[in-house]
Structure 1
């Protein structure tokens, strides 16, 4: 019987290739996305299109920024995103809910990562073009963020990096949770809009952040993002009001400060960058 003898150098190389990676290279990777769709990623993606700022932030946090070729006009973090857009290395493919199908196809991506607010017909057209697309549902909890990071990591053949990122976030959040152990919970409201007022209720990512931070969402009796009257906010009069604020985008902050100056509410106003508070992604640990 003829024996096959491998060259010592080849043996050395093979010994450093994880069996899982070798298998994936030959079989591709199949993921179940947040819509329950089974999607085959036939090879490691090198041209990725992101259709949400939180997805873009996750890709860059996983060290995959050099593989991103398309983002929305709202994707502005980390700063490298805008730098690469300016250099022509990344193309802006449109908005969050109205991305350009033509621009995406022209980029010849091998993976598109979308979200649950996309039109089903748009998703079908991406599939018809032979492009793998996975759908990530907007997270409603911190645990949901971890799951989305793992999903994106697996689809991009970066499971190890995703696991490391999740553990890092868990460690940071655990640290802050320990700081508020034994401390009485405080009443909090997150103001999403004014005229009319909109707040974060139960079943939102913000509600979960408030709970983990030792707060009590005074509008947890509302489901999702809820519209309330000025009188309801005055009645609740929470100790802390989280308000989106950024230079040039002071509408919500000014509206709440006006109510405070009139003596209608008395809580401390905490301004936070609207991008950070509205994007359930890897920056959750700094909230």
Structure 2
């Protein structure tokens, strides 16, 4: 019996949403495979007066370094801090509006490693670029120092970097004070319109989420070779994590809420994490992308990993 035509739009919508959410993580993963640490991506100090930032994490750093007055353009979805929403939008993460960029007459455009193709086109157009690596927590910290030097804001950058290093060291030290090593599953995306967690996409053993797991003395429940595996119910039951940390888009959180999302997980009551009420939902913006507030996410991982488990 063929499926009803009315199911096709919903299936297509789910596929598009899933693709959109995991795109940044997948792009970041493959960028990690190719990233160089050579100094050619680091610009010398300069009196930049017209800057464009092409990712939310970059824009956050520019504000942290108190250089926002020189920020004339941003990419779509740069909404933090709220003032960033007032800046001119020059396209999206990958669909850059080159005409809009040139109209702003920037003396510097700052991009991420996975946006290198955009940088190459901008350089051909005569636009100076700085490329940063946010595929790892250390890459994020290093980028603060890089931009601090580029903006002649080394003092502010050094203070931010030292504070971040201190917080990371403290969390790692606290996590290693216990012999407990919970098996953690990080759910990047799933079909939240189903009565049970369907089409679960998890974080594999590469990338920033694996870093978080390592830092809090946990173990990734998924140990396979796939960067972002799609897990069936059978596979989830086989993995049987002690703790599930789910990233939830803001629109989904507003629509469903914790009660509905938790009820869906309760359909898998065979899982230790479900039986022991060890499911954590992260829905705030700073948890969705690796950026200068990654330590907020790391703190949630640390608190969750410290909870008792079988």
Shorter chain as normaliser: what TM range? 0.7 to 0.9
- TM-score, normalised to structure 1, is 0.76
Partner Cα distance (2:245, 2:269) in 1: 18
Structure 2: 5+ residue runs without aligned partners?
1-34, 191-197, 298-310
Q: Which runs of 4+ in 1 moved over 6 A?
A: none
Q: Does 1:193 align with 2:203?
A: no
CA 1:111/1:174 → structure 2, altered by over 3 Å: closer, same or farther? same
SS at 2:72 equivalent: strand
The structure whose Rg is larger is 1
Partner Cα distance (1:230, 1:279) in 2: 27
Aligned ranges 1:64-213 → 2 under 5 Å: 64-82=67-85, 85=86, 90-118=87-115, 120=117, 122-140=118-136, 142-183=137-178, 184-194=180-190, 195-213=198-216
* Per-residue CA distance 1:131-158 (angstroms, 9 max, x = gap): 2112223323x22222222223233332
Q: How many pairs are equivalent? A: 248
Aligned residue in 1 for 2:266? 260
Aligned residue in 2 for 1:270? 280
- TM-score, normalised to structure 2, is 0.71
SS at 2:229 equivalent: strand
Aligned ranges 1:210-221 → 2 under 5 Å: 210-221=213-224
How far apart are residue 274 of structure 1 and its match? 5.3
Partner Cα distance (1:110, 1:33) in 2: 24
How far apart are residue 258 of structure 1 and its match? 1.5
Structure 1: 5+ residue runs without aligned partners?
1-31
Aligned ranges 1:46-65 → 2 under 5 Å: 46-65=49-68
* Per-residue CA distance 1:259-284 (angstroms, 9 max, x = gap): 32342434111111253223212101
Aligned residue in 1 for 2:13? none
* Per-residue CA distance 1:218-243 (angstroms, 9 max, x = gap): 12444533333332222112121111
**Which structure dedicates a bigger proportion of its chain to strand?**
1
CA 1:210/1:39 → structure 2, altered by over 3 Å: closer, same or farther? closer
Aligned residues of 1:71 and 1:91 also touching (Cα < 8 A): yes
Partner Cα distance (1:286, 1:40) in 2: 29
